[in-house]
Chain A
Amino acid sequence: MTKILASTLVLLLISSFQGFSQKKAEVWRYEGPRFGIDLSRFLTPYLQTAKRNGWEIQADVPYKGNFFPTFEFGMQWFDDKRDGFHYKNNGTYARLGVDMNIVKFESMKDHDIVFIGARYGYSFFNQETDGIGYSNYWGTLTSSVPRRTMNAHWAELVFGMKGELFANFFLGWALRAKFPVSVSNDPNIKPYIIPGLGKTSTDVPFDFSIGLYYRFPIFKTKKLPKPIKVGTAKHPSENEENNRNNQRSSGTSR
């Protein structure tokens, strides 16, 4: 009898130990602020004839899983030497806004996002021109426009993607449509390049950026963010129709 009891106890202990060892490891989702640089600012000098150098840093932080309040800050130096003038422009800019992820996270380890976003942008810069030349019947004018400090405000709509290349390192791109709101007035020169805003020769300048980011995984959660539902709201007439149907069905049941 004691042998049977002892063997039963051993079996129970073994089975409970096996059960403990088979218990799944806990899966955490790590999130945190993401800092990065815009690589496209380093490519720009090779894509244009004028000297356009600069840098931009970007940062975002997750909020309720699918929202990413974003801050971007940069500087730009522009130097354009042409036949009839030599234009220089440099300054700093900042953008503040938010991105919203529009795709579903497929697992706790999936941090890839496709986003739409909006920004408010502000640029503080100065410009000057020398070597201006103009000739007509009466002779040749040589002139210059002294340095003037200016600013610009604009709004942006952004669409882009950010994907996790490997743990906490992200690569992303964003296409930006910019809507100038106000630009300081200079009677001699409407600036044709504004730091952060870009070219002013079109009403809605487009821009793109390619960012490389590092995320500091300082928050952890067990919740997988739910995808944002777009277009699920019912039309008011549809609701009225439903109410009428409900009233009818309740009337017949009496």
Chain B
Amino acid sequence: MRFYLFIVSLLILSLVSCSDGNRCYDSVDTLMVTSFSINGSEQIKSLIIKGVDRNDLGDTLVNDQDSTLTKRYPLPLSLSADSTGFVVEVNGVKDTLFIRHSMIIHLISENCGFAPDYVISGLRHTAGIDSVRITDTKVNPQSIEKNTNDQNISIYFSSAAHQ
């Protein structure tokens, strides 16, 4: 009995000492999934997105000049302010969109570290944007895993302003 006690003890010890590694298997990129379209039959031929007051080289978030591509992009939100502004240029016409949000930083896992979680609380925009539909107010690292027909917000541009 005592012999087996020792043997089994050693076996358990060796099993438990096996490490599961320090790999991160989860997403830590928190991005607001946004779709863009023009009301009516008009198509988006070009789409350029930048942050408000971000005009340096390399500050362009999206530069899509292919009208055949689906206009659906993940956008980052501010880490320090309670609102985030984007300048959206559609077919050469610029509009501005401000998203109001609250944010907490939260632990994804010990191996992945922290990432922000946002809750969208409101928005305002310039006249070229006809309407904005908020489908999901929660923006977190899982948001980018949404299906192709699902997004956080949908932006509809006025056809009169973007012909």
Q: Which of B13, B80, B84, B110 has the most CB of A within 10 A?
A: B110
State how many residues of chain B have any CB contact under 8 Å with chain A.
Answer: 34
Q: Are A141 and B8 in contact (CB under 8 A)?
A: no
Chain B proximity mask over A156-181: 1 for CB below 8 Å, otherwise 0: 00000101110000011101000000
Q: Is the CB of B16 within 8 A of A208?
A: yes
- Chain B interfacial positions (CB closer than 8 Å to A): 1-2, 4-6, 8-9, 12-13, 16-17, 19, 22, 28-30, 51, 61, 76-80, 84, 104-107, 109-110, 113-116
Query: Given the complex of chains A and B, what is the CA–CA distance between A163 and B6 in angstroms?
Result: 9
Interface residue from B4, B76, B113 paired with A82 (Cβ < 8 Å): B113
Q: A residues within 8 A CB of B6?
A: 171
Q: Given the interface contacts A139-B79, A141-B116, does A112 sit within 8 Å of B2 by beta carbon?
A: yes
Q: Judge if A19 is at the interface, Cβ distance under 8 Å.
A: no
The 0/1 profile, CB within 8 Å of B marked 1, for residues 195-234 of chain A is: 0000001000000101000000000000000000000000
In the complex, the answer to whether B104 meets A188 with C-beta atoms within 8 Å is yes
| A24 to B30 Cα, complex, angstroms | 81
Q: Is the interface of B mostly helix, strand, loop or mixed?
A: mixed
What residue of chain B has the Cβ atom nearest to residue A202's Cβ? B20
Q: Identify which of A1-9, A91-99, A130-138 touches chain B.
A: A130-138
Among B5, B110, B114, contact of A163 (Cβ-Cβ < 8 Å): B5
Query: Which residues of A from 130 to 155 have beta carbons under 8 Å from B?
Result: 132-134, 136-141, 143, 145
Q: A190 on the interface (CB 8 Å rule)? A: yes
Report the minimal beta-carbon distance from B59 to chain A, rounded to whole angstroms: 8
Q: B15's closest neighbor in chain A, by CB? A: A208
Q: Which residues of B contact A161 (CB under 8 A)?
A: 1, 4-5, 8
Alpha-carbon distance A190/B117, docked complex (angstroms): 14
Q: Do A141 and B80 form a contact, CB below 8 Å, given A85-B114, A112-B1?
A: yes
B1, B29, B107, B109: the one contacting A188 at CB < 8 Å is B107
Near B by CB (< 8 A), chain A positions 116-140 give 129, 132-134, 136-140
Find out whether the CB atom of A80 lies under 8 angstroms from the CB atom of B2.
Answer: no
Tell me, in angstroms, the Cα distance from A73 to B6 when the chains sit together: 24
B5 touches A138 (CB 8 A): no
